[in-house]
Structure 1
Amino acid sequence: MIGERVGFEEVSERLCKIYFTNAVLGMLDLFTGKVLKYETPVYNYNK
């Protein structure tokens, strides 16, 4: 996925979801700068 575009959706003051197409890859903690991984991608079919 090097060079591919990803999207961010702010879900709280602290956390953003990280998307690649419809798959949620993880969460970005804006306070620490760390990426919190998901065990399996979560697909959002509402978008």
Structure 2
Amino acid sequence: NFQDEMGRKTAEMLLRRIADPAAPPQRAVLTPELVVRGTTAPPKTAR
């Protein structure tokens, strides 16, 4: 899922940066996945 992929990519980039602090910063673009569900709950009332 998206969260797992984001965590893995972040860990890989962090480990690379630790191994080579002089390396240029990296940017990653991940494609999220839309999950369409049948229903949603109404909003909770303010307290």
Q: TM-score range by the shorter chain?
A: under 0.3
Bigger Rg, which one: 2
Q: Compare relative contact order (CA 8 Å, sep 6+) and give the higher one, 1 or 2.
A: 2
Name the structure where strand makes up a greater proportion of residues: 1
Using structure 1 for the length normalisation, give the TM-score: 0.25
Name the structure where helix makes up a greater proportion of residues: 2
